[in-house]
Copies of this chain bind each other. A is one copy, B any other.
Amino acid sequence: MVKATFMFGAGDVRVLDVPDPVLQESTDAIIRVVRGCICGSDLHPYHSMPASGTGRLMGHEAIGVVDSVGADVRTLTPGDFVIVPFAVHDGTCVFCREGFHTSCVHGSWLVGGQSEALRLPWADGTAVKVPGVDETADEALLASLLTLSDVYLTGWHAAHMARVAPGQTVTVIGDGAVGLGAVLSAREMGAERIILMGRHEARTDLGREFGATDVVAERGEEGIARVLELTKGEGSHVVLEAVGHAPAYEQAYGIVRPGGVISRVGVPQFDSPPAGFGQLFGKNAAMTGGPAPVRAYLEDAIGRVLSGAINPGRVFDRVVGIEDVPAGYAAMDARESLKVMVKP
């Protein structure tokens, strides 16, 4: 038996003993989870999920050790230390080859990351071995590697899709773990000025350490006015939107510069954003973004973490054991915690 986290409805998270996960397909692997975590996006069902009799297996971020592999798995061996991205993909379809693994024809979302062990479909296409590292590595390194399963590379994806370039002004909307990853990524890509819009001081302080040159706590029209003031009225070349709610998007088109780009990685909670002549078209502003194909960026990012160039794991400010995952949800929901790590 292993302990695993399930959600049974809004606010109802339980850790249950369930049978060990087993190989079902020849392309599967079983991963013993070394560290998992709770995602800001897990708070959406935590707020709104209808009651369920069977519950939903939670957790889509993990690092771990390969326990067993199916007959067709070629790149992983039991004992390998791996990063498991939040999206499962075969790694070979046309969209994976084009770098958009989140549109894989065999794609699904990872589940079981908040458990002691998980079944990973399409193991070769999804997980990546971290050379020279095992679970005895220091906590800071493990934390940074864990962010490569989602949040840091989701921030990276935002900046990558916007083609952030040296000399640009980049504004990041949202001071959650993804927004802070976007700040760090924009710095890595050479942005000259990085404006972080957020109002949780502990988070924006970390944002400054990650590379933010300015912090704007104001929201709405006041926030727009402040960013325009900081940019001589010209606006921001790139806006990285890491929230997903309509007011954040409205800020984005208010501050994007003519010819600029809004890159969205906050899952949009609306279907028809204002995007006509007055918002985007008239000033040739582009809108891009979507679920991050973190697999496309993983080897590069592992190298930067192992070299010490980046330390995205600093977004974790609390660690809980597997039994305390429900308390971790409550802490993130109450904004007492930026991001909670799970140590099974």
A residues near B, CB below 8 A? 94-95, 98-100, 102-103, 161, 234, 258-259, 264, 267-268, 270-291, 293
Please state if A100 and B259 are interface contacts (CB–CB under 8 Å): yes
State in angstroms the CA–CA spacing of A211 and B86 once bound together.
42
State in angstroms the CA–CA spacing of A276 and B268 once bound together.
6
One of B161, B267, B275, B281 near A284 (C-beta < 8 A): B161
Q: Which 3 residue pairs spanning A and B have beta carbons closest together?
A: A103-B258, A284-B290, A271-B276
State in angstroms the CA–CA spacing of A264 and B283 once bound together.
12
Give how many copies assemble into the complex: 2
Known: A272-B276, A280-B290. 19 other contacts (CB 8 A): A95-B258, A95-B259, A98-B258, A99-B259, A100-B283, A161-B284, A161-B286, A270-B276, A271-B274, A271-B278, A271-B279, A273-B276, A275-B287, A280-B287, A283-B290, A284-B288, A284-B293, A286-B286, A287-B287
Please state if B281 and A275 are interface contacts (CB–CB under 8 Å): no
State in angstroms the CA–CA spacing of A64 and B234 once bound together.
34
Please state if A103 and B259 are interface contacts (CB–CB under 8 Å): yes
Question: What chain B residues lie within 8 Å of A279 (beta carbons)?
Answer: 271
State in angstroms the CA–CA spacing of A264 and B282 once bound together.
11
Question: What chain B residues lie within 8 Å of A258 (beta carbons)?
Answer: 95, 98, 100, 102-103
